[in-house]
Amino acid sequence: MLAKITVADYMTKNLVKLTKDMNVVDAVKVMLSHKITGAPVIDEHNNLVGMFSEKDALRMVVETAYNQSSAGRVSEFMTEEVVHVAADMSVVDLAVQFQNSSIRSFPVYQDKKLVGIISRTDVLRAMVNSA
């Protein structure tokens, strides 16, 4: 039954992480090579400091084109106010959260520690597998 399935059951645990000092072009290359639309940004202590998404990368493309400048660092374009979810959250509750948000993936926390990431596709996979 879908209501009993948790975020932890379907989240991605092997995270692709970016650093805030990483060049944006390098970050996009990492995202493309892993076929992901966004990734958590961590500091030197492995703390989550932001999320970097396709939307953030597109903002960089527009800004550099208009300003005729080169790409900057991830920290200049990442989203700093990160909404995260708990590992024990129901995927049904998460589906509601996705429905009411433009966010495509959420970092997952358990015991104040980043343990994964979950996307809209993961929720749909849970739905199909529970049918």
User: What digits encode the pLDDT tens for the residues 51-107?
Assistant: 999 999 998 888 877 777 777 899 999 999 999 999 999 999 999 999 999 999 999
Residue 1: the pLDDT is: 74
Kindly report the average pLDDT of the chain as a whole number: 92
- Give CA–CA dist 48/42, Å, rounded: 5
* Residue range 35-49: mean pLDDT, rounded: 93
Residue 91: the pLDDT is: 96
- Give CA–CA dist 73/84, Å, rounded: 23
Token output for 85: 């979810």
Question: Domain 2-130, CATH 3.40.190.10 — does that match?
Answer: no
* Burial class for 70, CB neighbours closer than 10 Å (0-12, 13-18, 19+): exposed
pTM: 0.85
* Residue range 116-131: mean pLDDT, rounded: 94
Q: Are 63 and 69 in contact (CB under 8 A)?
A: yes
Residue 24: the pLDDT is: 94
Phi, psi of 101 (to 5 degrees): -140, 155
Cα separations in angstroms, 128 against 5, 17, 124: 12, 28, 6
Half-sphere exposure of 17 (CA within 13 A, CB side): 20
Q: Residue type at 31?
A: M
| Whether the predicted pLDDT of 6 surpasses 80 | yes
Per-residue pLDDT band for 112 (boundaries 50, 70, 90) equals confident
